[in-house]
Structure 1
Amino acid sequence: MKKLLLVSALICTPAAMAHNDNDSGISFSNEQCNVEFKNDVRIKPSELEIFTASNQFMRFNNNGNLTVNGEEVSINSEQRQALTQYSDTLRTQLPEVANIALDGVKIAGVALEEVANAFNIDGLNDLSGLMDGIKVEVENTFYQQGTFVMGQQSFDQFGENFEQQFEQQIETVVESAVMQSMGSILVALGSELMGSGGDMDAFEQRMENMGEQIEEKVELHANKLEQRAHALCDNFADIAQQEQQLVAQLPQLKGYELFTIKQN
């Protein structure tokens, strides 16, 4: 009955996704990118702000005005155009970080739904509520009072909260749901065994096929998400280069770059 282990492996899928040590996996940190965050950014509807670790800041608003540490900086039309393009790029690209995190939560939900449907597992309502809580945590990390906030602190905060606050809860709720539905699971397994005519080899093959089907559905979503994450890392590298060009035009912005390219 070694294929019965497949049930446990599949049911534990969300917990495994929550903590991924695989270098090729989806990560909620910037460790997978060739860039790292140097400062924090706050994107408001009417302005862009970048803060350094020493709490110095630059602000560029929709009217094309630039201030550095509260002092207005006179800029020409070419510099204003470059700043506007930079601001638009950040507004377009950075929220994709939150979108990828939210879609990662959805993938865990897909895995749970597939397993629950396959083995008639009840009692997953608590886990559904927990997933909603994770979604709220993601949104609260990146969206604060109408402002999009991102930087190393945001990533560290989310990663720490996710692992400490939710990972153990996910495992606990899943284990509870499995225990509550053990009868349904055994009936489902019995039905599969009968469908195989009592042939254990055929039964194991049916179980393996079922597991592969579920895995394929989950991996399809996960692979697409991973591609988006890699593409986003490439976009961050492009932004880092854009910042270098911007500083060449506006030396006053040196030290306010959001990204820095990692040195190998």
Structure 2
Amino acid sequence: MNKIILLTAATMMSTTVAAHEQHTVTFNDENCEVEFQNDVRITPDNLVITTASHATAEITSQGTLTLNGDTIPLNQQQQAMLTQYSEQLRGRLPQVANIAFEGIKLAGVALNEVATTFNLTNLDDIHAVINDFETQVHGTFYQQGAFVMGKQTFDDFGSNFDEQFNEKVETVIKGAMMQSIGSLLVTIGTEMSNSNGDMSAFEQRMEDFATQIETKVTQQAQAIEQKADSLCGEFEQIAHHEAIVANAIPEMSAYQLFKFK
């Protein structure tokens, strides 16, 4: 009987986490037509694009362009195009970090749902993992008063974040279950008592609970995915505009942030 109870609790935990993992938001979607090829650093005063060879293109808030320290003369039309391009990057790139934050918070919602239902009292480690990853995301994208984005940041975040997050979440779930084993047994025992000892009724209640949480998490995860897909489309539009800017200002052709696959 104890094995059945523990297996049921573990299954509930796994189901909830799986509901999140199946819809983990990533930013290297194969369906996206563009990808980063350079890096950018954005502050209130300027926007600096850096290539793999460490060449730099600085666009100031006034619309002036400096390449590797040399100011490039621009006519009024070129300056207007460059300013619009800069504003597009300022408005869209930070949304990547916002979507990442939403994904982390969604995992916290799912874990709290399960913890509340099974009366898990030792949640400090779970909350610590959520907080640690929020700090990690913030530190990845916001550095020394600037927003940083591009190929290196994008690649590192996309390849490492999901795996690390899932591993740590699974570890703290197991730890919380072991530390709260007494509460788990009491809670599940109460559920069985309310079902008058009918295991089939108990199992149905557990399945309904799993479905309820999975549905809730899935719906929110899909909404986040839609935001990511929409953002990818906006990046494609910026990439098209970027190509137009590079055509109008040939010196910018070596500093394009995006490339089409």
Question: TM-score normalized by structure 1?
Answer: 0.90
Going from structure 1 to structure 2, the CA distance change for 1:101 and 1:35 (only over 3 Å counts) comes to: same
Residue in 1 that maps onto 2:227:
228
Residue in 2 that maps onto 1:7:
9
Q: Which runs of 5 or more residues in structure 2 are unaligned?
A: none
Q: Which runs of 5 or more residues in structure 1 are unaligned?
A: none
Q: Are residues 1:114 and 2:113 paired?
A: yes
Going from structure 1 to structure 2, the CA distance change for 1:258 and 1:110 (only over 3 Å counts) comes to: same
Q: What one-letter code is carried by the residue in structure 1 that aligns with 2:78? A: Q
Q: Is the 8 A contact 2:104 2:134 kept in 1?
A: yes
Q: What one-letter code is carried by the residue in structure 1 that aligns with 2:121? A: D
Q: Is the 8 A contact 1:82 1:246 kept in 2?
A: yes
Q: Is the 8 A contact 1:3 1:204 kept in 2?
A: no
Report SS of the residue matched to 1:197.
coil
Cα separation, 1, equivalents of 2:58 and 2:134: 30
Residue in 1 that maps onto 2:149:
150
Q: Is the 8 A contact 2:24 2:162 kept in 1?
A: no
Q: Measure how far apart 1:82 and its partner are.
A: 0.6
Going from structure 1 to structure 2, the CA distance change for 1:60 and 1:14 (only over 3 Å counts) comes to: farther
Report SS of the residue matched to 2:54.
coil
Residue in 1 that maps onto 2:258:
259
Residue in 2 that maps onto 1:98:
97
Cα separation, 2, equivalents of 1:6 and 1:212: 14
Cα separation, 2, equivalents of 1:243 and 1:3: 59
**Superposition map of 1:144-183 within 5 A:** 144-159=143-158, 162=161, 166-183=165-182
Q: Is the 8 A contact 1:98 1:142 kept in 2?
A: yes
Q: Measure how far apart 1:164 and its partner are.
A: 6.6
Over residues 86-117 of structure 1, what are the superposed CA-to-partner deviations in whole Å (9 max), with x where a residue is unaligned?
11110110000000111111011001100001
In the TM superposition, structure 1's runs of 4+ consecutive aligned residues that sit over 6 Å from their partners are 1-4
Question: TM-score normalized by structure 2?
Answer: 0.91
Residue in 1 that maps onto 2:247:
248
Over residues 139-173 of structure 1, what are the superposed CA-to-partner deviations in whole Å (9 max), with x where a residue is unaligned?
00000001111112112333455357554333222
Report SS of the residue matched to 1:123.
coil
Q: Measure how far apart 1:56 and its partner are.
A: 0.8
Q: Is the 8 A contact 2:12 2:206 kept in 1?
A: no
Cα separation, 1, equivalents of 2:151 and 2:18: 24
Residue in 1 that maps onto 2:131:
132
Cα separation, 1, equivalents of 2:237 and 2:153: 21
Report SS of the residue matched to 2:255.
coil
* RMSD (Å), alpha carbons: 2.3
